[in-house]
Amino acid sequence: MDHDSTENPKTSPKTSGPAKPPRGSEPDLPPNDLAADVDPATSIPEEDEEARLPEVPEEPAAAVAEGPLAVGHAAIENAVRLAPISPGVYRMLNAASDVLYVGKAKNVRKRLASYARVSAPQPARILRMIAATVTVEIVSTSTETEALLLEANLIKQLRPRFNVQLRDDKSFPYILITGDHWAPQILKHRGAQTRPGRYFGPFASAGAVNRTITALQRAFLIRSCTDAFFESRTRPCLLYQIRRCSGPCTREVDFTGYTNLVREATDFLSGRSHLVKQELAGEMEKASSELEFETAALYRDRLAALSAIQSQQGINPRTVEEADVFAIHQEGGYSCVEVFFFRTGQNWGNRAYFPRAEKSFTPEEVLASFLAQFYDDKPPPKLILLSHEIEECELLADALSVKAGSKVEVSVPKRGEKKELIAHALTNAREALGRKLADTATQSRLLQGLVTTLGLPHPPKRIEVYDNSHIQGTNAVGAMIVAGPDGFIKNQYRKFNIKSEGLTPGDDYAMMREVLQRRFKRLLAPAEGDPAKAKADTKTDDDSFPQWPDLVIIDGGRGQLNAVREIFEELGLGQVSLLAVAKGPERDAGRETLFMPDREAIKLEPRDPVLYFIQRLRDEAHRFVIGSHRKLRKKDIREAGLQEIPGIGPSRKRALLHHFGTLKEIERASIADLGKVPGVSAESARKVFEFFHARPG
């Protein structure tokens, strides 16, 4: 699927959002997984005239005659008197004006009245929500479709406790063919689609995009270099030499010829691949008949590249040009939704999601909630294929059609190739959920192993690991990674740019002090420095991921541990367990020593699973902080240019820029390539290379 960025695919707050979430509460499944970037949950019921709440034992009238539940019922009854009988969205708020729940209804008054009925049986989760409600706010909409879209928009902004919370911390990648230069560039794109050009996607992964772009370069010879690099060229680059670019920078191809190449690439990505291949085959035969064998070989190679793109996609449907395929599998009280993306008759990848949902939810309920949220920030395709029938299918199709600006069909295939696609997706969903359950069980055993090995009071629900990085004190940055019962929680990761004035360069203790103080003072602030009150204030009675750690791990030995312990004592954080992981002799993995306050050093066997688990946590923190440091350093290098490289004068700097074109290309160059620049000696080349590739501490 593609669209022009100038059409502004984003919708207003009243034109984006999910369909009604399924009934029930959230299970104990933690909120994130290493294999999935999105974690849609489920929300409390929203009934139509024909729908009923799940039957539960009726509460005695005396039980709701007084107390918070009575206050909540009174607040809702007051809202019922003022509520419209037209479509709209309602928000339930607590005493602190926090939004508890956002819902939509065709008839708002009737929906709210269903909550206000004291004698009506209600699930436990709804009763908890009602008990916390002190006021209700209502927004009227013109249609139920508009209400559905606005509902999801508000859920995404407000993140209500009793609603689905779509944790989409990683956007899908697209292919962009730019439209703001006479020689358009092809590149991978994430985020807001604000740059002029044509966007094609989504792709399931960055790897799928990169492989496709490489093949497209071979097939259509479109440039991938930046505009700055393009303008600085005086001779064709290496990509031209290996036949992955037509060389528009030095006019190896004229404007008309390059425009035709861009048109062919756009046609191919827009679904007209058969026509493009026919044209190339015709040109190849023509060149061959005219004895222009080199030209014919070029067309042959381009045709082969196109065939490679289509063969790499796995299963490629014959009758489906553009569709998303959703299949759900449930097992062990958990759900997995497998999504396949098909565009231009090609499989552009798949991804597994694990929505949080009460174990009693049916697959149809989970899938209905998942679908509407999934398309809150993504353009829907023309066809959506489902493994299960869902309620309000027509309403969802209407809402997505409004969002897409064209008709969107939602269907459950019964036969033929579309049914085969569903079966294939179901197989992948079943296998992904099996892996997920196995990983969850393994993680639980490892956390229990931490309890036994370290003497913790209970398996930690939240583990925070800290590390810092710098080069001789410059570009110092600290980082925190977070893990829980379901693995790494990447949307909780944080980095800290070290800001303290007068900090001695390379003082790791001082850097760690600043990071920990900034992290925990923020948590202590609401409770005015009282850790016990702060932890109590952040506790919830639902399954949300805790904000306070049960275990803090730092990279270091007894000295680092004592320094952190002093910081914790100053902040009054004696209840948080501390662990320091000292590297073994010669930094050998498997020979680490573990330190905890007031205990002897702990040495585990090299193959101990608990030691391996701790190593993974430490290595993840190291990976994250090194990446953060390098980004910060590269930013400084870009801002400073080549001025900071010691021993490299103005003449050599000019020679390097003239030879490579941009600072980025100089950074990418090997020592051998740097040494080939006129006027740059082997020693100077080494200095330049080491400046860009120095290993941070």
pLDDT above 70 (res 335): yes
- Give me the CATH code for the 323-435 domain, please: 3.30.420.340
pLDDT of residue 119: 73
List the domain boundaries for the chain: 44-158, 174-312, 323-435, 463-624, 641-693
pLDDT of residue 482: 92
Q: Residue 324's beta-bridge partner residues?
A: 341, 384
pLDDT above 80 (res 340): yes
CA angle centred on 299, ends 296 and 303, rounded to 5°: 135
- CATH top class, domain 641-693: mainly alpha
Tell me the average pLDDT across 296-321: 66
Better-predicted residue by pLDDT, 92 or 591: 92
Better-predicted residue by pLDDT, 12 or 145: 145
Identify whether the C-beta of residue 579 lies closer than 8 Å to the C-beta of residue 602: no
Task: Determine what percent of the chain is predicted with pLDDT higher than 90.
Answer: 10
Identify whether the C-beta of residue 327 lies closer than 8 Å to the C-beta of residue 425: yes
pLDDT above 80 (res 603): yes
Q: How confident is the model at residue 328 (pLDDT cuts 50, 70, 90)?
A: very high
Tell me the average pLDDT across 455-470: 86
pLDDT above 90 (res 326): yes
pLDDT of residue 91: 92
Tell me the average pLDDT across 219-224: 86
Q: How confident is the model at residue 561 (pLDDT cuts 50, 70, 90)?
A: confident
pLDDT above 80 (res 415): yes
- Check for a shared fold between 44-158 and 641-693: no
- Per-residue pLDDT reduced to its tens digit, 27-46: 333 333 333 333 333 333 33
Identify whether the C-beta of residue 109 lies closer than 8 Å to the C-beta of residue 96: no
Tell me the average pLDDT across 194-210: 83
Better-predicted residue by pLDDT, 688 or 314: 688
Task: Determine what percent of the chain is predicted with pLDDT higher than 70.
Answer: 75
Return the CA Rg of the chain: 29
- Per-residue pLDDT reduced to its tens digit, 244-291: 898 999 888 888 889 988 888 888 777 666 667 777 777 777 777 777
Cross-sheet strand order for the sheet of 88-93 = 99-105, 88-93, 135-140
Q: Which of 246-255, 303-312, 356-365, 408-417 has the lowest mean pLDDT?
A: 303-312
- Per-residue pLDDT reduced to its tens digit, 421-454: 999 999 999 988 888 887 778 888 889 988 988 8
pLDDT above 90 (res 388): yes
Q: How confident is the model at residue 591 (pLDDT cuts 50, 70, 90)?
A: confident
Q: Which of 23-37, 417-431, 529-543, 614-628 has the lowest mean pLDDT?
A: 23-37
Identify whether the C-beta of residue 65 lies closer than 8 Å to the C-beta of residue 7: no
Q: How confident is the model at residue 242 (pLDDT cuts 50, 70, 90)?
A: confident
pLDDT of residue 51: 35
d(CA 125, CA 23): 10
- Any idea which residue has 């222009």 for tokens? 292
Identify whether the C-beta of residue 201 lies closer than 8 Å to the C-beta of residue 187: no
- Give me the CATH code for the 463-624 domain, please: 3.30.420.340
Helix (H) / strand (E) containing 4: strand 2-4
Q: Determine whether domain 44-158 maps to CATH 3.40.1440.10.
A: yes
3-state class (DSSP) for residue 373: helix
Q: Residue 483's beta-bridge partner residues?
A: 463, 488
Q: How confident is the model at residue 496 (pLDDT cuts 50, 70, 90)?
A: confident
Q: Which of 52-66, 568-582, 620-634, 660-674 has the lowest mean pLDDT?
A: 52-66
pLDDT of residue 535: 58
pLDDT of residue 334: 82
Q: Which of 27-31, 209-213, 568-572 has the lowest mean pLDDT?
A: 27-31
Q: How confident is the model at residue 305 (pLDDT cuts 50, 70, 90)?
A: low
Tell me the average pLDDT across 580-596: 76
Tell me the average pLDDT across 109-122: 83
Tell me the average pLDDT across 36-63: 36
d(CA 141, CA 17): 13
pLDDT above 90 (res 527): no
Q: How confident is the model at residue 56 (pLDDT cuts 50, 70, 90)?
A: very low
Q: Which of 512-516, 560-564, 582-586 has the lowest mean pLDDT?
A: 582-586
- What's 448's DSSP letter? H
pLDDT of residue 5: 47
Q: Distance of CA 138 to CAs 13, 42, 43, 116, Å?
A: 15, 21, 18, 16
Mean pLDDT of the chain: 76
Highest mean pLDDT, choosing among 194-203, 589-598, 653-662? 194-203
Q: How confident is the model at residue 542 (pLDDT cuts 50, 70, 90)?
A: very low
Better-predicted residue by pLDDT, 694 or 494: 494
pLDDT of residue 634: 60
Better-predicted residue by pLDDT, 556 or 530: 556
Q: Which of 497-511, 587-601, 606-620 has the lowest mean pLDDT?
A: 497-511
pLDDT of residue 411: 92
Identify whether the C-beta of residue 313 lies closer than 8 Å to the C-beta of residue 212: no
Q: Which residues contact 407 (CB under 8 A, 6 or more apart)?
A: 382, 401
pLDDT above 50 (res 540): no
pLDDT of residue 674: 82
